[in-house]
């Protein structure tokens, strides 16, 4: 895109509706399968039409269920990162299970795509005190699980202040050297997230305003969405009404509006390469491609 004001990351947390905590904790169920795959396909086609790229943080159990859909993301040139193996909250697991979630997801994604997986995002931005140590042990190079949001009751926030890419030691002084952090963006001043549920609550103009304000500060906006938000969702007993608010066609229009803003939409890794040139990519595996 010409006449851009900067670069931005519109990342995709690749999880399906049945993998969300809201669905797993609900009293009801649905017999529909693959809820969100159509949204993932829409994303792939829409980004291709705009000659844009992205980073997909993938729940690796989808490699077993829908390998062709995940492989298509890599074939489109998108960066593939990990969103754990099962999409369970890391703080609900012991250290061995957390390590397994990180290691197994990276192994499965690399085996399928033939590309090195260097980035990680925790489900619900939920991390533990040993998070950066585990990332280093399992071969990752960067994390994107920090949100400098104000505290939101029943949600997250109030813990971090980092708003731009930095070495992970900016979050945890004891983090292993070489690890980097790419925080998800918040609205300057208001300090509420720019995307996820907040995009659906406040609308795309809210997000676009935040992007411009960040660009003026020299910060590349880092946004996130989910493929299940882009499709019609079945009503399931016990799933909160906020999960259904402005999903489907409304959300597709909102994402299109964001992608039409004067930004170059790129991968998370490319932003880190410029902002934190000393970050350490994951250990390379034999035969894996670097893009």
Nearest by Cα to 220 from 185, 181, 269: 185
106-136 pLDDT, tens digit each: 999 999 999 999 999 999 999 999 999 999 9
- Report helix, strand and coil shares of the chain as percent, to nearest 5: 40, 10, 50
Decide if pLDDT at 288 tops 50. Answer: no
What was the pLDDT predicted at 2? 52
Place of tokens 């062709």: 68
34, two tokens: 């693959």
84-103 pLDDT, tens digit each: 999 999 999 999 999 999 99
Distance CA 81, CA 122 (A): 11
Question: Exposed (0-12), middle (13-18) or buried (19+): which is 104, by Cβ within 10 Å?
Answer: middle
Cβ neighbors of 222 (< 8 A, separation 6 or more) are 8, 9, 11, 144, 182, 183, 184, 185, 268, 271
Nearest by Cα to 265 from 2, 39, 54, 34: 54
266-278 pLDDT, tens digit each: 999 999 999 998 8
For the whole model, what pTM was predicted?
0.95
Average pLDDT of the chain, as a whole number:
94
Decide if pLDDT at 291 tops 60. Answer: no
Decide if pLDDT at 286 tops 50. Answer: no
What was the pLDDT predicted at 285? 40
What was the pLDDT predicted at 287? 38
36-50 pLDDT, tens digit each: 999 999 999 999 999
192-248 pLDDT, tens digit each: 999 999 999 999 999 999 999 999 999 999 999 999 999 999 999 999 999 999 999
> What share of the chain has pLDDT > 70, as a percent?
96
Q: Which residue has the higher pLDDT, 290 or 170?
A: 170
**Mean pLDDT of the region 159-181:** 96
What was the pLDDT predicted at 22? 95
Decide if pLDDT at 147 tops 50. Answer: yes
């Amino acid at each position: 895109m010409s006449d851009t004001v900067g670069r931005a990351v519109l990342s995709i947390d690749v999880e399906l509706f049945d993998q969300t905590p809201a669905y797993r904790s609900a009293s009801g169920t649905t017999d529909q399968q693959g809820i969100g795959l159509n949204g993932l396909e829409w994303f792939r086609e829409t980004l291709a039409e705009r000659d844009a790229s992205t980073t997909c943080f993938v729940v690796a159990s989808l490699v077993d269920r829908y390998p062709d859909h995940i492989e298509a993301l890599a074939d489109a040139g998108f960066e593939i990162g990990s969103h754990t193996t099962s999409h369970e909250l890391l703080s609900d697991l012991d250290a061995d299970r957390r390590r397994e979630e990180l290691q197994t997801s990276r192994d499965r994604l690399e085996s399928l795509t033939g590309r090195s997986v260097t980035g990680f995002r925790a489900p619900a931005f939920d991390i533990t005190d040993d998070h950066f140590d585990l990332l280093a042990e399992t071969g990752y190079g960067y994390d994107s699980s920090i949100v400098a949001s104000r505290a939101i009751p029943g949600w997250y926030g109030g813990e971090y202040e980092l708003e731009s890419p930095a070495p992970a030691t900016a979050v945890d002084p004891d983090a292993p050297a070489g690890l980097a952090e790419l925080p998800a963006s918040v609205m300057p001043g208001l300090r509420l997230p720019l995307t996820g549920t907040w995009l659906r609550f406040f609308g795309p103009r809210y997000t676009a305003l935040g992007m411009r304000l960040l660009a003026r500060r020299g910060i590349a906006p880092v946004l996130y969405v989910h493929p299940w938000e882009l499709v019609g969702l079945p009503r399931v007993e016990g799933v909160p009404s906020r999960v259904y608010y402005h999903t489907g066609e409304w959300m597709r229009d909102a994402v299109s509006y964001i992608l039409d803003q004067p930004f170059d939409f790129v991968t998370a890794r490319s932003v880190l390469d410029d902002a934190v040139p000393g970050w350490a990519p994951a250990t390379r595996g034999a035969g894996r491609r670097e893009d």
